[in-house]
Structure 1
């Protein structure tokens, strides 16, 4: 078995273009895993009077807040996205490819995996309605499944704007975020002004990634400064600026750091970006081993499928558990259908994570073909004069 895994990993390593920056793929994989595990840990489907509603342990257990610091990794994803898009666009220009064709290709990669998700849930909703499932439950499930799509819409918009924003310094959108929050919170401005931060907030790490693609990697001292400075700014904003400590939304909280992004979320993201840059060297060394690289490559080949279907996997396990409990005359299962208000729930939830992962593996096996998997490890070798730009196209 070990020899089989080693040979398979060797084939994947041999098929990888020699100029590919494997560390960026590893950062993307870590960001995806952070989002998935974060959602599974801070989202609970509670059985209540014949319906399902969402609850969060962050609402009942303030000590659980640091979990959001570990698993809210969206800034890293946008950092990698900006770097990859800037390099890819530069390589496309070197090949003589038009902006329109490059953007169409990128957007097709993003949205093609969405089609089966929407199709499956359209059919599932019709079936559930026919079975008399309450509208409140359908609304809860639909929100869980569709809410992650906001991320794709923002990423698609930034990708399409890459020819325009690739040379934008990240300080410009950071200034926009600062002034929007000043108007919104300092002068009691209208709530809608906060939504200006939806593009501006994620432009900060995206433009930072594009800057790194254009000028080269940050020096370690600069990366440490970004990490420590972003962390210090976030701590001050939470301690003295009235921003919530959680880096994800908490049901019932008056302010969310993520919906829309606040200055605290952006400074926290900059700290994450500094840490991510410091990880690049160790990751490159670790990924010289074929088995480690194979694991990262396989996850990246299914990254969008994992992102899109992880909530469905959690819902499937929750529904199956609820059906089985009812069939056996058992009450709500701890960590799956109960209110997340104690340490018992946390321990029980950790026990359910392997089942969530198993359901996600099944979803991935069925739907990963909707991703363009061939290009990631079989991209043609770049010509010598294009190799630097095409390193992670």
Structure 2
């Protein structure tokens, strides 16, 4: 996810420095509410004489696939993340920082909260295994609790690219975008072509290259946003351009070339997500004046502060806590309406409110890991570049593996070890205390 912190001032009432774009902060928080809502609605639990079944009720809705053209918010996350990344990188450069400083800060911000989640998941899964929880049920629970971790891998990859891509943006912005577009399309062409081969070749590994090209391209759009490319364009032109993006999606999806469902296009990412992200940012700028007035409201800023200041924690923990919430409901023998029924839909607001209450309660102690300073300890030296690079790679591996093969007990365990090592590698070398033997003063005459 883009940087999950809003960066608002220490008090909710503050409007922050003039260089900040509070509308971007608002969009991040709004997307967080959307992510929690979608994940909640994707969990349809039914209980009958045959036991407990878990399904996705949203896929039964005839309009769901087309609805993802508007409700798939991850492309917009990467766009606003690009805005925040370029702003932070330029600020760091003005203070004399370099790429190593930037990447070290990002790894600490993103990985320290993730260590706590992995510790919880590994412990819970081992305890559940020892308690005799059926392996099939435990597999479903573990996979569901780790669905959101793909984002950490994708975002860390994009963050590692920021210093280089920012430089390319300075010297050749449009050529850089053109190369990214061409690369993303070529990867899709090869991948889709291989999917139609008679040998059953797995094309997904090739599609993984678009974690760099598609997500990187969306991040690059955020760089243009930061430079004001979309400012000053008439509203009707912005809306017309957004509509053109959606029109372009129609031939790409109607003939079966790409899935209509933009969630299906997500892992590995495919080019239609770029059109969705561009459409969203164009609409954002079209309604920017309205959003600007909205974010000046006191209650809106308070919500932005509460959610934005712990957004990474909320993102990481909301799915495990939703699963815990449904587990408690099952233990209490609360009624579970048939998924997608009228009763089921009417019960979702209560579960949504309960989920947010549980997430915010859990975030109170956990947010300390997110907001902890990344500054070096007094007298400590910054790790060498190779250590920062290795720490970044080790941090990417656990969520990347979860994205490819789902979370289980073992991947949670060794993933925890790698994440702890990653944090240790980038944290810095603490000063060595040298202890001297006290000087012994010999009595005179001896």
Same fold (TM over 0.5): yes
**Which residue, 280, 284, 287 being the options, matches 2:292?**
284
CA RMSD, 1 decimal: 2.7
Deviation track 1:335-365 (CA, whole Å, cap 9, x = no partner) reads xxx5x35444333334422222222222222
1:148 maps to 148
Measure, in 2, the Cα distance between the counterparts of 1:22 and 1:207. Answer: 20
Q: How many residues align?
A: 351
Q: Which runs of 5 or more structure 2 residues have no equivalent in the other structure?
A: 1-8, 375-446
Deviation track 1:118-146 (CA, whole Å, cap 9, x = no partner) reads 11112211221122111122221221222
Does the C-alpha gap of structure 1 residues 290 and 316 become closer, same or farther in structure 2, counting only changes over 3 Å?
same
Deviation track 1:180-216 (CA, whole Å, cap 9, x = no partner) reads 2222335636513222222221122100001222354
Does the C-alpha gap of structure 1 residues 344 and 175 become closer, same or farther in structure 2, counting only changes over 3 Å?
farther
The two structures have a TM-score, normalised by structure 2, of: 0.71
Residue 172 (1) aligns with residue 179 (2): yes
Deviation track 1:262-310 (CA, whole Å, cap 9, x = no partner) reads 2223322221222223233322222223332222122110110111111
2:254 maps to 239
- After TM superposition, the structure 1 = structure 2 runs for residues 1-393 of structure 1, keeping only pairs within 5 Å, are 11-14=11-14, 16-46=16-46, 54-166=54-166, 167=169, 169-186=176-193, 188=196, 190=201, 191-192=203-204, 193-214=206-227, 216-221=229-234, 223-248=238-263, 256-325=264-333, 333-334=336-337, 338=338, 340-372=339-371
Measure, in 1, the Cα distance between the counterparts of 2:47 and 2:105. Answer: 43
Deviation, structure 1 residue 319: 0.3
Does the C-alpha gap of structure 1 residues 48 and 119 become closer, same or farther in structure 2, counting only changes over 3 Å?
farther
Deviation, structure 1 residue 46: 4.7
Choose 308-317 or 46-55, whichever is displaced more.
Answer: 46-55
Q: Which has the larger radius of gyration?
A: 2
The answer to whether the 8 A contact 2:65-2:261 is kept is yes
Does the C-alpha gap of structure 1 residues 240 and 29 become closer, same or farther in structure 2, counting only changes over 3 Å?
same
Measure, in 2, the Cα distance between the counterparts of 1:214 and 1:63. Answer: 36
Measure, in 1, the Cα distance between the counterparts of 2:340 and 2:14. Answer: 50
Choose 12-21 or 288-297, whichever is displaced more.
Answer: 12-21
Name the SS of the counterpart of 1:262 in structure 2. Answer: coil
Q: Which runs of 5 or more structure 1 residues have no equivalent in the other structure?
A: 1-8, 249-255, 376-393
Does the C-alpha gap of structure 1 residues 68 and 270 become closer, same or farther in structure 2, counting only changes over 3 Å?
same
Measure, in 2, the Cα distance between the counterparts of 1:356 and 1:67. Answer: 23
The answer to whether the 8 A contact 1:69-1:246 is kept is yes
Measure, in 1, the Cα distance between the counterparts of 2:231 and 2:15. Answer: 29
The answer to whether the 8 A contact 1:171-1:204 is kept is no
Measure, in 2, the Cα distance between the counterparts of 1:265 and 1:48. Answer: 39
